[in-house]
């Protein structure tokens, strides 16, 4: 009897996470609203992730330390094997600063195109901050369908146009598609292995795919709402001696 009880507890502990208070009978539009409210309540976020970049059939591995303070402060530092510094990216509103492993720093206007060049993926106009952290960027709901049991498909207005798959059994977004002018898929984001951190639910696995290229982020740790100050984002960056971005 004791062994059976232990096995039941073990299986319960391994069950996929479900959003607290969510029931499959609820309106999926409420789930989208709740996701946006949680993002709006996020004060800041520290995170650490393992990266795998796939290009032309070749894999490259790295690690990343990320800082985010909504709405517009974001820093990611990427290191390769043996903790060798590869590059640092700082976003402050509409400005972008990039530093390489040799200590060269460049700055200029932010663009998703330029940010995508650093990743080897075309972000199709999507904000780098949301793309990497696995957060769903707020946007008006255009329409909502239920293509199969337990799942809803939200069409989001704005640019870029987006399709967002919602797992209404557990209460999470699982797949986002960025669409072109003709409705073609430009980029996909797979979101999974959610964990609860205080009042926030964050995906432990974020995978961006575009053709045969992909970027996988496997998050090892999050620390939400730690009171990050703006100085933490600019530390070590010579803002008064930046070369222009090309």
How many folded domains does the chain comprise?
Answer: 1
Whether 197 is covered by a domain: the verdict is yes
Residue 14: its pLDDT value, please? 52
Does residue 179 sit in helix, strand or coil?
Answer: strand
Whether 5 is covered by a domain: the verdict is no
Whether 79 is covered by a domain: the verdict is yes
> In this predicted model, what pLDDT tens digit does every residue of 63-82 receive, in sequence order?
999 999 999 999 999 999 88
Give 208's strand partners.
189, 215
Tokens of 59: 């894999």
Give CA–CA dist 20/131, Å, rounded: 25
Whether 6 is covered by a domain: the verdict is no
Spell out the per-residue pLDDT of the chain, length 246, in tens: 445 444 443 444 456 799 999 999 999 999 999 999 999 999 999 999 999 999 888 999 999 999 999 999 999 999 998 889 999 999 998 999 999 988 899 999 988 788 888 888 988 888 899 999 999 999 999 999 998 889 999 999 988 899 999 999 999 999 999 999 888 999 999 999 999 998 899 999 999 999 999 999 999 999 999 999 999 999 999 999 999 987
Whether 48 is covered by a domain: the verdict is yes
Instruction: Give me the CATH number covering residue 50.
Output: 2.50.20.10
Q: Which domain holds residue 67?
A: 25-237
**DSSP label at residue 9:** H
**Which residue reads 């008006």 in tokens?**
140
Tokens of 133: 């952290």
Whether 11 is covered by a domain: the verdict is no
Residue 2: its pLDDT value, please? 47
Whether 184 is covered by a domain: the verdict is yes
Note whether 74 and 110 are within 8 A (CB).
Answer: no
Give CA–CA dist 93/127, Å, rounded: 11
| Reported pTM | 0.89
Whether 30 is covered by a domain: the verdict is yes
Long-range contacts of 68-74 (CB under 8 A, 24+ apart): 68/42, 68/44, 68/129, 68/133, 69/43, 69/44, 69/45, 69/228, 69/230, 69/233, 70/39, 70/40, 70/42, 70/43, 70/44, 73/228, 73/230, 73/233, 74/128, 74/129, 74/233
């Amino acid at each position: 009897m004791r062994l059976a009880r232990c096995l039941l507890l073990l299986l319960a502990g391994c069950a996929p996470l479900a959003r607290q208070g969510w029931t499959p009978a609820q309106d999926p539009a409420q789930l989208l609203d709740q996701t946006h409210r949680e993002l709006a309540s996020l004060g800041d976020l520290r995170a650490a992730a393992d990266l795998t970049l796939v290009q032309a059939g070749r894999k490259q591995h790295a690690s990343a330390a990320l800082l985010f303070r909504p709405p517009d402060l974001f820093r990611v530092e990427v290191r390769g094997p043996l903790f060798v510094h590869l590059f640092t990216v700082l976003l402050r509103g509409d400005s972008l600063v990039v530093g390489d492993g040799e200590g060269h720093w460049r700055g200029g206007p932010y663009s998703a195109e330029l940010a995508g060049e650093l990743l080897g993926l075309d972000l199709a106009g999507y904000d780098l901050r949301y793309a990497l952290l696995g957060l769903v960027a707020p946007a008006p709901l255009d329409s909502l369908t239920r293509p199969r049991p337990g799942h809803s498909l939200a069409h989001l207005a704005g640019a870029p146009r987006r399709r967002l798959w919602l797992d209404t059994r557990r209460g999470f977004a699982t797949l986002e598609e960025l669409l072109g002018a003709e409705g073609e898929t430009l980029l996909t984001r797979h979101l999974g292995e959610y964990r609860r951190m205080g009042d926030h639910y964050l995906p432990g696995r974020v995978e961006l795919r575009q053709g045969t290229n992909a970027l996988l982020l496997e998050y090892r740790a999050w620390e939400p709402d730690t009171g990050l100050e703006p100085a933490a984002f600019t530390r070590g960056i010579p803002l008064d001696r930046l070369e222009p971005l090309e």
